[in-house]
Structures are given as structure tokens and as C-alpha cells.
Structure 1
Amino acid sequence: MPQLPAEIILHVLECLIPPAAPVALSPRDPVTQTLMSFTLASRLTHQAAKRLLFKHCIYLDSDRRLDHVLSQLNAGDGERQPEPVGLFLAPFPYCNLEEPCVIKRVDQLLSHIGGNLRRLVIDIPLRSLHPDEDEQRLRKILRAAFVRLTRLEEFCSVRDELYLDTKETDDESEPPVWSFWPHLKRLALYNVSVEEPGFLQALRQCSNLTHLFLTRPDCLWEPIDPALKGITWWSSLQRIVIVNTAKDYELELQRCGPGWKTSFLGQITCFEDTDAAESNTPTLKAMPSLDYISVKVPPDLEDDMIDTCQEWVCQHAVAGTLWDISGASFTREHREVELPVDEHSS
């Protein structure tokens, strides 16, 4: 019986990876399952399939999977495994950050693959352990690990604003970790206070940032610090998207009060006639587009708007589709977006 040339077999394996590859293919994805089977099929396909698994399928939604990947990376089989360009990281059990062993392994993983990592989605309970409660200084380890990810171009924090402060008081505020990533182009954060000077100064520092997704942000209409007047913190941005539910969207519009013209939204919306002689602010042509995406909440989940929004963002961020989803201009009209089926739930 004639056999296919090895080159064709290996090319078929390569073609399993979709052209617009997600950040990380989940263990339940048919592509991942197929590659796993090919690691057992023959000596020829074993290494090729294993290489593709490491490159495209590092989906760590448990401490067990984190341990398995680390053991494979540290295996002394004489052949260095390729470093993934994308990673989904959610290894902490029971929404608890106070897990020294898990944090140590996360540090090891990011030290191992961080030099090549371009796309990262995290679902980590960073707010579950505050700096004044961190007796084991675990937050310091995590902050240092994430600061090292200087090759990142795309990042999403599902549960928070990448809350990695290690100081106990506001007087000792630290710059956001993502402001240390010079190649960052696309950033998605949850529940960030957008009027904070540190946040706006960090945006200005990210000279390559083009897309900013803010899920359920705070203080959209609060006046920003007068010291920031005239600073174009949006200078590199092309698109800003607010993600929330329709109900909370309407509530947010009602918070628009005195001083709104100097707020985060007030500076980039077209709700007023711009007086070009008033300040050094750029013309509207230089402003980023501002869209709103309203996540539809199923009737049986009306009390879980936070989880619904986080789940929606997580699914699209991991799939790599978040950045191109269309929205509605930030007006009283909004677009409802159907929540996709959670393919990763058990």
C-alpha cells in the first residue's frame, strides 16, 4: 500500500491551525483533540503535533494544566519546545489568589515563555488579595512576572484592570504594569477608574496602543485631574469601546453632570460644538472612534450582569474576535449583542 510522503503529512498537520488563530485553542477544541491524537499516531507526527500544541494550544484553565505544561517545558528530552505566541491563563482555584505554589509556577511559566509571548488573556482573581493582606508578598512576585512581558501586543484582563499594586496606600501608587509593555497595541480591562491620573498617563505612555476595550468602567463622566488639562492621553488610540449591559448603559448616561466636558468621555465625544480656539485639544478628526457594545443578559441571569459581561469578553478575547466586533456610537442608541454559547463550560 503506497504511503504519503512525510512532507504532505506534516503539511496537513500545519493546515489544522485556522488562518485567524485564536489566542489559545482550548483542550476541548477539535483541533487540539486532533493534534493530541497525532502525538500518539507515529514517531513522525509526534514531534510535529507536539510543537503545534505548544505554539497554539496553551489554554491553562486549572492548576493541573499549568503543572502539566511546565513539566513538558522542563522535560530534558534534548529538544527545546517552541514558545507559544498566545496564552490563556486562569489557573487559580476557587477565586483565591493566595496560592503560593500556583504563583510560583505562574512565575516560572512566564519566565520561560515570556520572551516570545505576543497575545495574553488572563482570568485571575487579583482583587481577592489586597496589598495590606499580602503577608507572603505574593503580589510582588506576580507584578515582577508580568512586568517582564515586554513583547506583548495584545492583552485582556477579564476580572480587573490588571490590579498588581503592591503598595498599601494611594500615596504610593504604582504605574499600571501594562504601561511597561512598549509593543502593546490592543488592551482590554475590566472596571478601571478612567478618571485616575495614573491610568490616563499610562495610556499616553503606550505610544503604539490603538484599541482600548473597557468593560463596565467607573467614572466615565467624572472630571479628570486639572493637571492633565491639555495632555492628549488618547494620541495613539484609534478606537475606544465601552462594554456593558443596556441597563447599566442608561444609568451611565444619567450620571453625566456638571464638569462632564473635562471627563474621560467628554473629551472624546461629539456632544458639543468644539471651539478650536479654546485650547490646544486636537480636532475631531484626530479623536479615536468611541463605540458602545451592549451585552444582552438572558432573563435567568439578570442578577449576574458582572459575570455575563466578563464571560462575553473572555470568550471573544480568547477567540481573537474582540477587537473587530462592531458597536454603536456612544449615544442613547445602543446595539444589543447576543451572548455566545460558552464552549468551555463543563
Structure 2
Amino acid sequence: MSDQIRVAVVGTGYFGRFHANHYSRNPRAKLVAVVDANEERARAVAAEFGTEPLFDYRDIIGRVDAASVAVPTTLHYEVARPLIEAGINLLIEKPITETVESALTLTKLAEERKVVLQVGQIERFSSSYRALASLISDPLYFESYRIAPWKTRGIEVDVILDLMIHDIDMIMGLVPSRVATVDAVGTPVLGRSIDLANARITFESGCVANVTASRVSYKTERRMRVFAHKQYLNCDLGEGKIFGYRLRGDPMKEGLAAIGTETHEIQKEDSLANEIASFLDCVATGKKPLVDGRAGSEALRVAAMINDSIEAHLRIARARPGSAEAGSAGQPAA
């Protein structure tokens, strides 16, 4: 195709390799290069997908129209800013950056340069999310659970930015209202940052979400329950199944006959393929991404509120008489 979009992938680790794979298979894209400071890894991924290995992300400037940024979160801002300044459309893996301030800076810069900035909140591109969004209206309360066994990958950020941010973004996509308040608890378990977290998120509309994320479980589970007026839905995001109840009459007169059950089997799709196809479409047409920089920044703002609330609770716990930290504070040095 003569009108193929020239793309590159910056970062060839776990997620970057998947990005390269999907670009190499998408007819709208021409994978020009993959980039990694680890030359051996860059060469291996380049050879796998028939493209050129590069070792400095700035070398793609002038050679591509778009790129995925799949480096560690701590490097997102450093890598993304000069690429946006050069007019390159970007798909940045979630979270958009480490801080709300840097996220908004990238967002404003992309708007000024008139380039596409999409954030890789992959659940928004899943068939389960699409089905759930089509079935609910005016939600009142959410419960979500995203738990997984411990992995060394991704521990450069806490569980809020690693796992919970998926559910934060999904729920914010389903609730047409801004988050007002957050109350959260959490703790490190196996790592140095928060590994287990629970947050109660209240929206200005009055909708409430109770969100739990853990990366110290024996099993993997991704489930979301939604309560709305005359409706309840339970979505298993992992299995692709939704079941629930819907009020169809007057239960005081008709009993159980007034309550209908519903079950939806969702056809599984490759969510990353959907995400990349959507990104390429936005680059080609100028459409606004489903998860643009402002949506990514807002999800990060809520994640920061959750972290602040957790730290406030932990400070109280540490100061409590009898806690390990309080007990050791009064002991003489050995």
C-alpha cells in the first residue's frame, strides 16, 4: 500500500514486542524500525518482524509518522516529549506518565502540534468493555476486582498504576461525570511500593465505585459488577461473560416473574490489535482517540488521589502506638 503509515516501536520489552508484532501484521502500517537501548534485544525483535533495529529513539525523527512508546513508565515523558515536538503521532502505553503535571504538558503539546496522542488503556478496546457499555445506562454503583499473582515485570510502579488504573479508566468511561472524592487503603506486601489497594471513588453525579487491585494473589481475576436503576450486571472480563438481572414488572405483585435474567457470551477479540487499529485510524483520519491525552491525564489524576489517600492512612497506622515503626522509633540504636 502506498498510503501506509510509517511507524516505529520505542521499547522492545514485553509490551513493545507485542506492539511490533501487530504493526507488522496490520496492512495500514509499515514498521520502519524498533528501538531499544539494549542492542541485543532490539536486534532480536527487529529480526523477528523484518525491520531495522535502532538504539536511540531520536533516530526515528523524520523517518516515521507515528510510534508506540513502550518504555518503562519512568521514561515516558522523557521519550515522548521530543517525539511530539517533532510532529510524531504517539500511542503511549499506560499510564501516560508518572505525574499529572507531565501528563498535561504532553497533552497540551500534542494539541498545539496537532498530533494524535493516544494512551494504551487496553481494556477500553476489549469486546467485554464494548458489551458492558452497550448494556448499562445511568450506573449507580460499581464493584471491580483485578487481582493477579506476583510478577517482577511492572513493579517499577505501584499496583494502582500497574493494575487498578485499567478499572479506573473503564469506570470513568462508563460514568459521564468527574471524580469528586476518593478514600483508599493499601499496603506494600512483597515489593517496596503498594501491592494491594482498595479505593472508594465518588463521582460528582453521586455514582460510587469500590475498586480493588492486588498483585499478590494465587489466581488471576478481572471482574466488574454494576448496579443501576432496575438493573444488575456481573461482567467477567477474563472469561468474556456477562450475566445479570433486569426488572421487567412489579415484584410486589408479580414476584420473581417480574425479574428477568440475562446472559451474554462475548466473542473474544485481540484487544491490543483493536487498540493499534484504532490508533492508526486516528492518525489517518484525524479523529479523536477513544483514550486521548486528557482521558489518560484524568485517570492519572484519580490514581494520584488514591495514592495520596493511601499514604494518609499509612501515616496514621505508622504513628499508632504499638506499630512496628512507632515501636522502633523510641528504641536506642544498637
Higher strand residue share: 2
User: What TM-score does the superposition give when structure 1 sets the normalisation length?
Assistant: 0.31
User: What TM-score does the superposition give when structure 2 sets the normalisation length?
Assistant: 0.32
Higher RCO structure (Cα 8 Å, ≥6 apart):
2
